[in-house]
Amino acid sequence: MAPYNPEAPPCLRLRLEESLKPPPKENNGHVLDKKSIESWLKQNADIRINDLCLVVNMSTIIGLADLAEDEIIASNTLPLNITLENVRINLIEDRPPVNITSPGPVPLNLAIGRMHVKRDKNGILHIQPIETNLNEMAASNYPLTAALFRQPDTMQRERERDRELLSLQLIMQQIKLENDNLRKQLQNAKDNSENYRQKTKQETDALRSYLKAAQDDINILLEEKKALLDTIRSLQLQVTTLNVTKKSEGNSSSISCAPRDYALYSSHTKDDLKQN
């Protein structure tokens, strides 16, 4: 069995569409019976099988057919569209043979290139050539079916577009994570800047207070220096005044002593002359 490939298209696609039609005007929307409700519904089933190789027993096919029967669907024939492309089916008859002497059933191998099977409302099966493109009316009436039966190249483009969208989403997610990280870093930077600003403001205020105290101390010292200088000048003036006073007193005392000495000298001279 081949490994699972998520990018590969599915082998079997099944879609059941059901649309509600407005009731006829003459009924005025009144529910009469079960058939009147069923008449409001329009159902359509689309099946596409491609690139598939199966080995199936006939009993399984019959069991699936019985399983597909439903009470609501069985009341009206369900329109069905089946598209087969590159399908290989090996049917094995596992039921007991009707004739005991039969050599045994031969396996039935089917290789279908491209085939379209359609069942209408009357239950008639139509085997037609496959339609590669749906017309605009069919696409407008059944948009989901039109999306189901797109061409392989269109599907390839869609897969490439999906991969591009996925890569863009991953890139956007990565960019979003980076933006979130940048926002966190910016917020952290703002918080750190605010803390640094507060710390710087506190340090500036402390330095200003220290500077103010130093200026006050300097002013006090200048005032003390001025007072000391004034005191020194006062003392120098007093010393100068005392020196002048002492000099004046010394001069006056020397002048008063000079005539007395002269009188003493004269008396001694007279006595000497008398003795001679």
Same domain, 155 and 126: no
User: Hey, what are 38's tokens?
Assistant: 């069923």
Q: Which of 132, 162, 190 is the C-terminal boundary of a domain?
A: 132
Contacts of 68 (CB under 8 A, 6+ apart): none
Same domain, 153 and 110: no
Q: How many domains does the chain have?
A: 2
Same domain, 126 and 157: no
The pLDDT assigned to 182 comes to 93
Q: Domain limits at 102?
A: 12-132
Q: Is residue 189 part of a domain?
A: yes
Q: Positive or negative CA dihedral for 87, 88, 94, 100?
A: positive
Same domain, 156 and 107: no
Same domain, 40 and 101: yes
Measured from the Cβ of residue 46, the count of other Cβ atoms closer than 10 Å reads 20
Q: Is residue 7 part of a domain?
A: no
Same domain, 26 and 122: yes
Q: Give the side-chain half-sphere CA count within 13 A for 152.
A: 7
Q: Is residue 19 part of a domain?
A: yes
Q: What is the pTM of this model?
A: 0.41
Same domain, 24 and 49: yes
Q: Which of 132, 162, 197 is the C-terminal boundary of a domain?
A: 132
Q: Is residue 188 part of a domain?
A: yes
Rg of the Cα trace of the chain?
64
Q: Is residue 263 part of a domain?
A: no
Q: Is residue 78 part of a domain?
A: yes
3-state helix, strand, coil in the chain (%, to 5): 55, 20, 25
For residue 54, give the H/E element and its range: strand 41-57
Q: Is residue 246 part of a domain?
A: no
User: Hey, what are 259's tokens?
Assistant: 């005539």
The pLDDT assigned to 96 comes to 78
Same domain, 71 and 165: no
Same domain, 128 and 154: no
Same domain, 69 and 153: no
**Is the separation of the CB atoms in 17 and 46 below 8 Å?**
yes
Same domain, 165 and 108: no
Q: Give me the average pLDDT of each 10-residue run along the chain (276 residues).
A: 62 84 62 67 86 86 70 65 88 80 78 87 81 50 52 67 86 92 92 90 91 92 93 90 82 57 51 54
Q: Is residue 252 part of a domain?
A: no
Same domain, 109 and 155: no
